[in-house]
Chains A and B, each alone.
Chain A
Amino acid sequence: MKDKYIVSSAPHLHDKTTTKNVMWNVVIALSPALVFAVYYWGFRALLLTLLGAVSAVVTEALIQKLRRVPVTVSDGSAFLTGMLLSYNINAGAPWWMPIMGSVFAIAVGKQVFGGLGNNPVNPALLGRAFLLASWPSLMTSGWLKPKSGALSGIADPDAIAMNLKALSPKAFDLVTGATPLKVVQTLRDSSFVASINADAGEGIDLANRIFTNITEMDALKNLFWGNIGGCIGEVSAFALLLGAAYLLYKNIIEWRIPLFYIGTVFVLSFIFGPIKGAGFSPMLPFFHIFAGGLMLGAFFMATDYTTSPLTKNGRIIFAIGCGLLTVVIRFVGGYPEGVSYSILFMNVMTPLIDKLTMPKAFGRVKK
Chain B
Amino acid sequence: MSFIKELTKGIIKENPIFVIVLGMCPTLATSTSVENALGMGMAATFVLVCSNIFISLIKNITPDKIRIPVYVVVIASFVTIVDLSMAAFIPDLHKSLGLFIPLIVVNCIILGRAEAFANKNNVLNSIADGIGMGLGFTLALSVVATIREILGNGTWLNIKVLPETYDPMLITLLAPGAFITLGFLMALMNMLKEKK
Q: Do A and B bind each other?
A: yes
| Residues 46-97 of A contacting B (Cβ, < 8 Å) | 94
Instruction: Assess whether B170 is in contact with A108, with CB atoms less than 8 Å apart.
Output: no
Instruction: Assess whether B171 is in contact with A133, with CB atoms less than 8 Å apart.
Output: yes
Neighbouring A residues of B167 by C-beta, 8 Å: 94, 135, 138
Instruction: Assess whether A135 is in contact with B170, with CB atoms less than 8 Å apart.
Output: yes
Q: Does B176 contact A (CB under 8 A)?
A: yes
Instruction: Assess whether A133 is in contact with B170, with CB atoms less than 8 Å apart.
Output: yes
Kindly provide the distance from the CB of B46 to the nearest chain A CB, expressed in whole angstroms.
Answer: 35
Q: Does A18 contact B (CB under 8 A)?
A: no
Instruction: Assess whether B180 is in contact with A134, with CB atoms less than 8 Å apart.
Output: no
Q: Tell which of A94, A112, A136 touches B170, judged by Cβ atoms closer than 8 Å.
A: A136
- B187 closest partner in A (C-beta): A112
Q: Does B174 contact A (CB under 8 A)?
A: yes
Interface residues on A, range: 10 to 19
Neighbouring A residues of B180 by C-beta, 8 Å: 108
Kindly provide the distance from the CB of B152 to the nearest chain A CB, expressed in whole angstroms.
Answer: 9
Q: Does A24 contact B (CB under 8 A)?
A: no
- Give bound CA distance, A62 to B181, whole Å: 20
Kindly provide the distance from the CB of B71 to the nearest chain A CB, expressed in whole angstroms.
Answer: 38
Q: Tell which of A94, A133, A136, A138 touches B176, judged by Cβ atoms closer than 8 Å.
A: A133
Neighbouring B residues of A94 by C-beta, 8 Å: 167
- Which B residues are within 8 Å of any A CB, using their own CB? 167, 169-172, 174, 176, 180, 183
12 more A-B contacts (CB under 8 A) besides A108-B180, A134-B170?
A: A100-B169, A112-B183, A130-B171, A133-B170, A133-B174, A133-B176, A134-B171, A134-B172, A135-B167, A135-B169, A136-B170, A138-B167
Interface CB pairs A-B, < 8 A, 18 = A94-B167, A100-B169, A108-B180, A112-B183, A130-B171, A133-B170, A133-B171, A133-B174, A133-B176, A134-B169, A134-B170, A134-B171, A134-B172, A135-B167, A135-B169, A135-B170, A136-B170, A138-B167
